[in-house]
Each structure stands twice: as structure tokens, then as C-alpha cells.
Structure 1
Amino acid sequence: MCRWAAYLGEAVFLEDIVTAPCHSLIAQSHCAQEAKSPTNGDGFDLAWYCDRPEPGLYRDILPAWSDPNLKSLCRQIRSSLFLAHVRASTGGATSRMNCHPFTAGRWSFMHNGQIGGFEKIRRALENALSDDVFDRREGTTDSELFFLLMIDEGLAGDPQGAVSRATARVIDASRRAGFEPALRLTAALSDGESLHAVRYATDAHAPTLYTSVFRNGGGRCLMSEPLDRDGGDWQPIPPSSFVTITRDGMTIRPFAPEPVRLALAV
């Protein structure tokens, strides 16, 4: 499984979370402690917001621990809102187009988890997308397709509802294909103003997610694993939760898929 980090608050250098701490995201790329595999070496990506509404994006297929450009950028870039991801592929080639976060306009999205049986339902899910949204498909991963499902379900106006309805689409497609859904979804998304996250699974094994106040209350961090084990007040996010962080604070609400609305024959 992948590892990721997201931050919203007073502007900080990306290195404060991505590279500098003892259990930074870079450290988690080669020695994760709460994942199936300790190694997440199938590429990485950064998405950060500054003076423009769209996020900046830097991605590569190198292991995060071996790219000096990544360390240099994190040392120089200061941002009040950013997402960072190190990838352990569960499907899809190791390519830049398959590295998270994915972006569309002002939105960014990254995912830890997978859609079980993806190849059996991929075509059905892609065919259900509107033409405009389908044309944004660049890679081959289940994660990018889930992002497009969210956009198709009204992400811009209703983030939690869009995630819930996209989740229901995946579950419904799995059942129509004749197997039990196996979706694991610990993801973060942002529009450059707010930071959202979801932790959900159709079984009892939702990938981990933690949050903590950062830098004496100047911001809040979301992580697959804590940045440190001895310091910091890291709060586990419960399964089946939807998190929203704004400049004014954080809310955690229950999360569940919305029932799929079927068209009635007339």
C-alpha cells in the first residue's frame, strides 16, 4: 500500500513533513511501519498550492528516497496547503501518469488502497463516465478512475457526497460483475481552500490514517503514519469517517456509500 501526507495551515517548507522528520514521508517510502510492504518505491508526486488556484505538480517514477531534485524542491517550496504521495503499485504501470496526486483544474486527489477486481469492472466504470470527464483520463490506475468518478458525481459542489456516490458506483459495479466488493479507500483531496480525507473499506481493514496539530497550532497534518513515535499528539481517524480541515478547524463526520439511484422504466 502507498503512504501519503497532507497539510493545511500556516505556510511551511515542504521538507518539514516530506523529508526532514525522523519518520518523514521519505522515510516511510523505504521503511513504512503500518503497511503490507515497508517499501513504496514506484514513484512519487507533490501537489502544492500557492498564488494560483491550480496546484503545482512534480512527479517522477524514481523511488522518493533516491531523487535529489525532490529533496531540493522540498527545501525551497513553502506552502500553506500541499499533498505528497509515495507509491506502491497495486496495478498499473510505473509511469508519471500513474503517480498520485492526480489533478483536474483546482482539485487534487491521492489514494492509498485499491479497488479489488478492478480489471473486471474497469470498462463498466469508464463507460459510465460522461464524455467530458472520460477525456481527462491520462493513466491506467484504479485511483485516477475513482477521482474521475468523483468529478462526475459533482465533486466541485459536494465533496463528501461525490466521494460517497463514487464509492457506491464501485460497489454496485462489483456486485453486477458477480463478486463481493473489495474497496479500500484512504484518500485526500483538496480544492486549494479546504482539505478533505476519507477512511473507508468494505471489509474491516481500512488503510491507516492519522492527524495531528502541527507547529504549535499553526496547521494540521494528515498522514498514513505519524511523523514520529515519541512526540506529537497523533489521533487515529476512525474507519468510515470523512474529514474536513479548513482554516477554522477540523470536523470528522461518519461516511457511508450513498445508495445507487437507478432510473425507473416508463
Structure 2
Amino acid sequence: MCRWLAYTGEPLQPAALILDAQHSVVAMAENSPLGAETVNGDGFGFGWYPVANTDAAGPRHPSVFRSIEPAWNDQNLREISRAVVSPLFFAHVRAAAGPPIQQTNCHPFRHDNWLFMHNGAISQFGLIKRELALAVDPSLYPLMQGTTDSEVLFHLALTLGLADDPIGAVRAAIRRVEEAGHAAGVQFPMQGTLAVSDGETVWAFRYSSQGRSRSLFHSADVPTIRAMYPDADRLSLFGDHAQVVVSEPLNDLPGVFREVPESTVAVLDPEGYHHEAFLDA
């Protein structure tokens, strides 16, 4: 389907993870050993929040760069990801499962200060697309520019209170998908991993109706990794609060990445991270 990465922590050049890691997101675009598809070359997206301005009031709003080029072939991604410094960013490489290859179908999706991305699919989406799209709040409906199930899911979560209760809203959106799918005779309507952020916290979900979700991993805390690998010079790039959640481990070092359990949400914020049970399949 796709592969993605979310980072939060001390401000960092995104290229350190998107381009330069041993198994970077761009490397996953060309060869994804744990993915449903080996190659994810149907476009990419990169969304990032600016470094906090203590004089500015209100939430930080992200910037987004999306392209239908394969990630490994886009010079602009290389330029931007090395020029930008960000404390929180998303990166996504796409393998189109049906909706056309167009820029508006590339992740991440943005609304106000929110970013959203998804790896997976709503099974037989065409059967329930109309019902789900019409469940989106009328004020949000015109903002959907693409044709993907992921964008509808995002706007459904916004409709169901994402700004006030992210976990509850995503839970309600997925249950709405499952109810519509089951009514249409779809046995396992929901599949995937997804991430959402308001610019301060990242919520990363692993869930499928079948209980066999796409892969998802979370990095151990940086001080622990430094203690395990004191001679790893590359760790100097990362501050003590750096956290990564990603579809596949970014390197082969044992203990650095830990699998996020099935039916779980990983919550990453300035205080650290924790896991919560999400939904029963």
C-alpha cells in the first residue's frame, strides 16, 4: 500500500530520516521488505511544522509538499528536506491501490493545524464511498480535493471531533467505516496504520478489522539507544527527546525499533511516548 514516517523532538533536518538513514523513507519507496508492495513509487508527500515562535499566539500550521514523482527521483524533495529544520514532520511514499496517481491523492492531508496520513485501505471502498462522504460535515465536504479513502477517513475524523478528542474521533471514524462496510457485506472493511498530528502531539494508530494490520514500529528513547551503541556517531544528530514512528525500522541495529502492537495507538508528545489499547477487531 504505502510506507510512512513521523518524527517529533528537537528540530532536525528531515533529510536525516527521509534520505540519509540506512533504510530511509526514500529507500522504502524503492524496496520495502515488510510492505504489501515492494515498490512505493506512485508519488510522495512531506509535511512539516515550523520551529515554535514563542512570540506567536495559537497553533503552528504545517507546510506540505506533494508530488506524483517517485520519491527517489525528485530533486525538490532533496533540496527542501535539507533546507528545512523542523521539530515535527511527516513523510509518506505511495503505492496506489486504485485511486488515480494525482497530487491531491498524495499524503499527508492537511486541515488547519492538522496533518494526517494512512497506509492501508478501506476494503471495497466504492461500495460505501457515497455513504461515508455524505457523513462528512457539510462545511468540510468541499475541502476534499482527491479521490482516496484516506482523505475521506481524515475528514470523517474531523467531523467526529478530532480537534477535541483525537483518539475518540479516529475510533468513531473507523467504527463508522466498519458499520458501513458490514452493512454492504464487506467482511473486513478497515486495514492499515495511520498518523495524525496537531503540531504538538503525534497519534499513530495500528488497526485492522481482521486483526492483521500493516507493520508499524516505534524508536526506543535516544538515551537508551546511546547506551546500547556508544560508538554510533550518527546518534549525535538527535536530541534526547527525538522520537520516530515508522512503517519499517530505519536501521538494522537490534533494540532500536520496537513493533507497535496490534490494535494500539502510540502517543508521542514532548513528555515522551506511551501506548494505549485502541480497538478490538
> Where on the TM-score scale, by shorter chain, does this alignment land: which range?
over 0.9
How much has 1:205 moved relative to structure 2? 1.8
How much has 1:165 moved relative to structure 2? 0.1
How much has 1:75 moved relative to structure 2? 1.2
Task: Please give the TM-score of this superposition, normalised by the length of structure 2.
Answer: 0.89
How much has 1:232 moved relative to structure 2? 5.7
Residue by residue over 1:100-120, the C-alpha shift from the partner in whole angstroms, topping out at 9 and shown as x without a partner, is 000000000000000001000
Distance in 1 (CA, whole Å) between partners of 2:125 and 2:280 is 18
Structure 2: runs of 5 or more not aligned: 53-58, 223-237
Distance in 2 (CA, whole Å) between partners of 1:245 and 1:134 is 29
Task: Please give the TM-score of this superposition, normalised by the length of structure 1.
Answer: 0.94
Structure 1 counterpart of 2:60, one-letter code: P
Distance in 1 (CA, whole Å) between partners of 2:91 and 2:280 is 26
Aligned equivalent of 1:228? 251
Aligned equivalent of 1:64? 71
Determine if the alignment matches structure 1 residue 31 to structure 2 residue 54: no
Q: Decide whether the 8 Å contact of 1:164 with 1:257 is kept in 2.
A: no
Mapping for residues 1-266 of structure 1, pairs under 5 Å: 1-50=1-50, 51=52, 53-212=60-219, 213-214=221-222, 215=238, 217-230=240-253, 233-256=256-279
How much has 1:233 moved relative to structure 2? 1.2
Q: Decide whether the 8 Å contact of 1:2 with 1:112 is kept in 2.
A: yes
Q: Decide whether the 8 Å contact of 2:45 with 2:64 is kept in 1.
A: yes
Q: Decide whether the 8 Å contact of 1:165 with 1:257 is kept in 2.
A: no
| Aligned length in residues | 258
Q: Decide whether the 8 Å contact of 2:177 with 2:189 is kept in 1.
A: no
How much has 1:217 moved relative to structure 2? 2.5
Distance in 2 (CA, whole Å) between partners of 1:108 and 1:253 is 21
Residue by residue over 1:48-102, the C-alpha shift from the partner in whole angstroms, topping out at 9 and shown as x without a partner, is 0005721011010000000011111111111000000000011211011000000
Distance in 2 (CA, whole Å) between partners of 1:241 and 1:204 is 11
How much has 1:204 moved relative to structure 2? 3.1
How much has 1:37 moved relative to structure 2? 1.5
Distance in 2 (CA, whole Å) between partners of 1:252 and 1:218 is 17
Residue by residue over 1:235-261, the C-alpha shift from the partner in whole angstroms, topping out at 9 and shown as x without a partner, is 100010011111011110000179xxx
Distance in 2 (CA, whole Å) between partners of 1:127 and 1:74 is 37
Distance in 2 (CA, whole Å) between partners of 1:36 and 1:49 is 29
| Stretches of 4+ aligned residues off by more than 4 angstroms | none
SS at match of 2:7: strand
How much has 1:216 moved relative to structure 2? 5.6
Structure 1 range deviating more: 122-131 or 227-236:
227-236
Q: Decide whether the 8 Å contact of 1:85 with 1:101 is kept in 2.
A: yes
Residue by residue over 1:15-66, the C-alpha shift from the partner in whole angstroms, topping out at 9 and shown as x without a partner, is 1100001110000000111012110000001110005721011010000000
Structure 1: runs of 5 or more not aligned: 259-266
Q: Decide whether the 8 Å contact of 1:211 with 1:235 is kept in 2.
A: yes
Aligned equivalent of 1:261? none
Residue by residue over 1:170-203, the C-alpha shift from the partner in whole angstroms, topping out at 9 and shown as x without a partner, is 0000112123233112011100011111000111
